Structure 1
Amino acid sequence: MDYKDYYKILGLDKSATKDQIKKAYRKLAREYHPDVNPNNPEAEQKFKEVNEAHEVLSDDEKRQKYDQLGADWQRYQQAGGPGRGQSAGGFDWSQYAQGSAGGFGGFGGEAGGFEGADFSDFFSSIFGGMGGARAGGSTRPGAGQDYQAELELTLEEAYKGGPRTITVNGKNLRLTVQPGVEDGQTIRLRDQGGPGRNGGPSGSLYITFRISPDPRYTRTGNDLTMDVPVSIYKALLGGEQIVETLSGPVKIKIKPETQNGTRLRLRGKGFPVYRQADQFGDLYLRLNLTVPQNLSNQEKELVQQLAALRGE
């Protein structure tokens, strides 16, 4: 029987706190989740290992017994037993496991509560199969598994928000996206994860937003920047121009003799501030002067006359 280093699987040391265990689990579960890695057997196996490690280390009694086993296993190695990752050979498992239905510190009996879970032989041998019942047949409630999912949005969809439907584990869930969400932002939906064990609470669903780049805008926090082409004639003489923003068309005034790269600020025309009603960032316009192409002979003469007048 191969020993599994649950701390190493989560990238932690043995002094890790519950919060550190929970944080590491969520990060790795999101990384290796089957929904994120379809048809990837290696990621699926890592996802199972991460769940198994979390199942043990997040439970005080299981963690205590596991740590005890680890100390004994280390003494066995020092006495000349096979190394970690090799067969346990003559290691005495009887004090920890009593067959597939046996107990480990009182865990054993029926599978109670780990339906659908896929635990290793190492786990099953120690914790009595699926390990959810206490001695005497009483069951211990436990929280359901947390789920991870991603929701892709365009920049305009993130700006407007609104109802969306996401499918997680074959179940369609409807949620309302709040205007102003950011790329990489994660929200939590309580009780939308796996079912609780033996009457325990359901897990949560963590949804991470992925916002696709928009060729028109660059987003910085709640501010937006966009390039606006302006003809050289309008830049020289001044005038008005219509600019399309996410909230609709806006008329801007261009001053005479405007230089290339001039920035204009439109207050309140940026991105909505998340969960702050009627608050918006700003929209910055970067004016890029356009040079006319395919000039006629007459146009060239007029430009030459202007250049001569300017001493160019």
Structure 2
Amino acid sequence: MSDPEKRRQYDQFGHAAFDGGAGGAGGFDFNNMGDMGDIFGDIFGDLFGGGSRRRASNGPMQGANVRTSVRITFEEAFRGVDKELDLNLKEECETCHGTGAKPGTEATTCPKCGGKGQVVYTQQSLFGMVRNVTTCPDCNGTGKIIKDKCPDCYGSGYITKRKKIQVSIPAGIDSGQSVRIRGKGEPGINGGPRGDLLVEVIVAQHPKFQRQDMNVFSTESISFPTAVLGGEVRIPTVAGDVMVDVKPGTQSGTKIRLKGKGMPSLRSQSLMGDHYVTLVVDVPTKLNEEQKAALCAYDQTMTGKERPKDKKHKGFFK
């Protein structure tokens, strides 16, 4: 083991490096195939549950991302809004300063992995000895063992605190999209940077407007005289009401386009979608005698025939 080259072969192939199985038996030179064991181990480890063969690392690692959600209105999605989130986030323990050890003590090097955070196992397979590298089960990959744990964080190095986080939601965001806040996620491992906070935005449904990408759709009722004679109609949009000239003879179901009255683009606030309005002619269900007479006169001028008068129902004794 004092020979560095033999030590490397032993670490890589175990005893098989010295029993003829790694030194060219059958025409194979395992010294030039250092990753062959890893390749076979990946294949058979996945098939037979041998565990992951990726090398563990006890170096600095970025913390995990934290996910949450926030609800906003349709109008807030149009103009953008700032929201305050109340979350439970991990912070470095003030007692042990993130070491996890009781004040006055310190963590020791893990005896099982020697501080590497990973252990190597060799096993016999159809292709010879296969090396498996796994996370050390004693130190969980940290390379350190804490005998006297911090009484406040119980050895984790972190405590959970309730914090208020401000998130700026840009105009034009759609439901299901997320806003990333850098450095507001889980703390890093072994001095690594914090993860990110991913805020999923849920836009509430609007009673009048529907959205598809940057375009907005709605339905607006117009009176029968307006549909026939034409005229101005007030159309609500997410940006405010606009006056639209309806052409004479407009049919029910006619669609009009209000250019630039839709939702803004996330990439460029100056780029706006359109608003498409479907006009539906409102047919009255209740008319007084004067209105009926006027409508009958209109019908006579259009058809040339006099409309029959309504028959009144007689009672039983009449």
- TM-score between both structures, scaled by the size of structure 1: 0.55
> Partners in 1 of 2:272 and 2:61 — Cα distance?
43
Match for residue 279 of structure 2? 287
Cα shift at 1:285: 1.1
Which structure is higher in RCO with an 8 Å CA cutoff and minimum separation 6? 2
Cα shift at 1:300: 1.1
Match for residue 267 of structure 1? 259
Higher helix share: 1
- Structure 1 stretches lacking a partner, 5+ long: 1-63, 77-104, 108-133
Answer yes or no: is the 8 Å Cα contact 1:229–1:289 preserved in 2. yes
Structure 2 residue corresponding to 1:143, chosen from 41, 55, 62: 62
Cα shift at 1:293: 3.1
Structure 2 residue corresponding to 1:246, chosen from 238, 243, 249: 238
- Gap change, CA 1:287 and 1:75, over 3 Å in 2: closer
Q: Residue type of the partner of 2:191?
A: G
Cα shift at 1:140: 2.7
Match for residue 83 of structure 2? 164
> Partners in 2 of 1:237 and 1:75 — Cα distance?
78
* 2:143 is equivalent to residue 224 of structure 1: no
Matches within 5 A, 1:5-24: none
Match for residue 206 of structure 2? 214
RMSD: 3.0
* 2:219 is equivalent to residue 300 of structure 1: no
Matches within 5 A, 1:117-196: 140-169=59-88, 170-196=162-188
> Partners in 1 of 2:192 and 2:71 — Cα distance?
32
- Gap change, CA 1:297 and 1:145, over 3 Å in 2: same
Question: Once the two structures are superposed, what CA deviation does each residue of 1:12-49 show, in whole Å capped at 9, x if it has no partner?
Answer: xxxxxxxxxxxxxxxxxxxxxxxxxxxxxxxxxxxxxx
> Partners in 2 of 1:266 and 1:260 — Cα distance?
18
> Partners in 2 of 1:106 and 1:256 — Cα distance?
75
Number of residues of Structure 1 aligned to a counterpart in Structure 2:
192
Which runs of structure 1 show a deviation greater than 3 angstroms over 4 or more consecutive aligned residues? 70-76
Partner SS state of residue 248, structure 1 = coil
- Gap change, CA 1:300 and 1:73, over 3 Å in 2: closer
> Partners in 2 of 1:250 and 1:279 — Cα distance?
19
Partner SS state of residue 241, structure 2 = strand
Match for residue 205 of structure 1? 197
Partner SS state of residue 236, structure 2 = strand
Cα shift at 1:71: 4.3
Q: Residue type of the partner of 1:145?
A: A
> Partners in 2 of 1:263 and 1:286 — Cα distance?
4
Cα shift at 1:145: 1.7
Cα shift at 1:232: 0.7
Match for residue 301 of structure 2? 309
Cα shift at 1:251: 0.9
Cα shift at 1:168: 2.6
> Partners in 2 of 1:304 and 1:181 — Cα distance?
52
> Percent identity at matched positions?
30
Answer yes or no: is the 8 Å Cα contact 2:179–2:200 preserved in 1. yes
Answer yes or no: is the 8 Å Cα contact 1:178–1:275 preserved in 2. no
- Gap change, CA 1:180 and 1:301, over 3 Å in 2: same
Q: Residue type of the partner of 1:191?
A: G
Q: Which has the larger radius of gyration?
A: 2
Question: Once the two structures are superposed, what CA deviation does each residue of 1:189-209 show, in whole Å capped at 9, x if it has no partner?
Answer: 221101112211101111111
Answer yes or no: is the 8 Å Cα contact 1:222–1:270 preserved in 2. yes
Q: Residue type of the partner of 1:207?
A: V
> Partners in 2 of 1:159 and 1:75 — Cα distance?
51
Answer yes or no: is the 8 Å Cα contact 1:228–1:286 preserved in 2. yes
Cα shift at 1:72: 11
Question: Once the two structures are superposed, what CA deviation does each residue of 1:269-298 show, in whole Å capped at 9, x if it has no partner?
Answer: 001111302110001111111112321112
> Partners in 1 of 2:181 and 2:68 — Cα distance?
11
